[in-house]
Amino acid sequence: MSGSLRQIRPGVWELRVRTGLDPLTGQYRQVSRTFHGLKKDAQVTLNQLAVEADQGNLANSNATFSQLAEQWLNLAKPGLGHQTLRSYRGLLDNHILPAIGTWPLRQIQTADLDLLYHNLVKRKGLSPSSVRRVHTIIHQAFRQGERWKWVRENPASLVSLPRMFRSEVTPPDLQQVQLLLAAAAKRDPVFGRLLYLAATTGARRGELCALKWKHVDTASSALLIEGAIIETPGGGWLEKDTKTHASRRIAIDAETMNVLAEQRSHAEELAQLAELSLTDESFVFSLEPDGERPLLPTFVTRRFELVRANLGLTQIRLHDFRHFAATRLISAGVSARTVAGRLGHSNASTTLQVYSHFVEAADQEAAELIGSIVARKQAKKKSKVRPRK
């Protein structure tokens, strides 16, 4: 790369080096430096800059962070889920671009990002997990900028992220769950049956909405969970795979099978009244006579909020039914691996982390049980030993 040396004033020199074509403008770009010292030393520094430019180690674009972020997001879009993409777009528009969107990439330093993350927590009240998602976007965008040689290095690589504090799970108790189930069934039997499945299977909201009759195995009393419903802008919806991108088959107890049988009878009655019929592709929970359209997740949440409000249980969330199912199983001594499989966790370590408090309690119960067994055995041995004459 060619370079030039110009004296600004005695002892001060301007160094200029071409870094190649700017990928955005298509024009040659120059990097300039100011050097204080002798001309011969300035020439040495200029030669070093020229070598770095030849090796592609100098930023090769005048792009702003906004320009990089938009091109990165367009490139990443096909591999992102709908909800992830919507989340990224919202974080960019609301928190990232207003702060650093107009900044040239070469001016953004690690300290700037540390300050941004600090302000998002302290001034805007974002949770540490949300700030970490902000960081994911910025880091991935800069990593793409490195590949394109828009930046020399990734300033997000060495940032200090806010600490994550895992809150302890507090599921509803059995009486609260039974009250909610009874109230839901009275208000809307279809929603009541969906809520019953939430309590006995621990399935996610979107997974329950995505259940079709082909997923119900009446012969072996099992349920196949292989997808979820997500909502799209404008009231639309689409089916996607599960959160872990894997299907799972879980056993169902007799009473839950009866609840599904009631739902089937109800759905068939509606279909007959409309002179339609159900198919294996019909959704289990639907407002349509032929089950062609599922209940949407937001509809389910709003219906649940109405039920809990009438009972004064506003602290309980629909997702807490998932926690209820998991903690009841763990407390009953069911292995973490089995619970993980029913919940759809990718591995048992996730289950152990989320429900560590209940695992410890179950372990203590196990310790007391084995201790009492050994103590009884020892007492029996002593009682059989006859005293010497």
Window from 25-34, 118-127, 306-315 with minimum mean pLDDT: 25-34
User: Span 118-134, mean pLDDT?
Assistant: 93
Say what the pLDDT of residue 214 is.
Answer: 97
Q: What pLDDT score was predicted for residue 336?
A: 87
Does residue 53 register a pLDDT over 90? no
Q: pLDDT tens across 294-331, in order?
A: 999 999 999 999 999 999 999 999 999 999 999 889 88
**Threshold 0.75, pTM exceeds:** no
Give which of 77, 70, 131, 67 is closest to 104, Cα–Cα: 67
The DSSP code for 96 is I
Q: Is 291 left (phi over 0), alpha (psi -120 to 50) or beta?
A: left
> Considering the chain, what is the average pLDDT of its residues?
86
Which residues does 251 contact at the CB level (< 8 Å), separation at least 6?
A: 221, 222
Assess contact for 301 and 217: CB atoms under 8 A. no
Say if residue 213's pLDDT is above 60: yes
Q: Would you say the C-alpha torsion 153, 155, 156, 160 has a positive or negative sign?
A: positive
Identify the band that residue 236 occupies on the pLDDT scale cut at 50, 70 and 90: confident
